[in-house]
Amino acid sequence: MMRTTTQPSDMTRPICIIDDDPSALRGMGRFMKAHGQDVRCFGSARELLDCELHEVGACFLIDVAMPEMNGIQLLEELRRRGHREPAIFITALDDPVVRDSATQAGASAFFRKPVDGNELLAAVSRALARDPDGADPSIGGGTAE
C-alpha cells in the first residue's frame, strides 16, 4: 500500500534544503519543521557536497540559481555520485529552458517562488513515497505559480 502522507517516524533521513538566500533557507526550514519534517539546511551546493554524503537525505529541495554551482549542476553531480534521492527544484525564475533542464536532470517537481506551502508538502510526500530507483510519473508536473 502506497503512503500518501509522510510522518516524521516514516523518515530515517532528513530533507535537505539547499538555497543561497539565508532568509529563504530559514523560512523553508522552519516551514518543513513545523510540519513534522526532519530538515538539514545548506547555504550552497558546495556545503552539501562537502558534508558526509553517506547519509544525505530522503529528499532534496534545491534552489536553481546559486553562485558557483547552480541547482541543476548540483543534482547532476549528486546523480554522478550515485545519489538517487528525489529532488524538487525551487526558483524565482520562470524560464522554460530552466524547467526543461531540471526535468532532464531528474527533478521530481519544479516550483516558482513564492511557493505554496501545501503544494510543496504534497510534492515532498509524493517524492518520499516513490521508489528511489524508479520515477513516479504522477510527480513530474508539480508547479506553483
State pLDDT tens for residues 51-100: 876 566 789 999 999 999 999 999 999 999 888 899 999 999 888 999 99
Query: In the structure, what pLDDT confidence band is assigned to residue 128 with cuts at 50, 70 and 90?
Result: confident
Q: What CA dihedral angle connects 7, 128, 130 and 44, to 10 degrees? A: 180
| CB 37 within 8 Å of CB 8 | yes
pLDDT of residue 77: 94
Average pLDDT over residues 120-145: 63
pLDDT of residue 12: 60
pLDDT of residue 53: 62
H or E element in which residue 31 lies: helix 22-34
Sheet of strand 39-42: strand arrangement: 39-42, 15-18, 59-63, 87-91, 107-112
The terminus-to-terminus CA distance of the chain in angstroms comes to 32
H or E element in which residue 91 lies: strand 87-91
Give the residue with greater pLDDT, 32 vs 56: 32
Query: In the structure, what pLDDT confidence band is assigned to residue 38 with cuts at 50, 70 and 90?
Result: very high
Average pLDDT over residues 107-121: 93
Q: Which domains does the chain have, with CATH numbers?
A: 11-129 (3.40.50.2300)
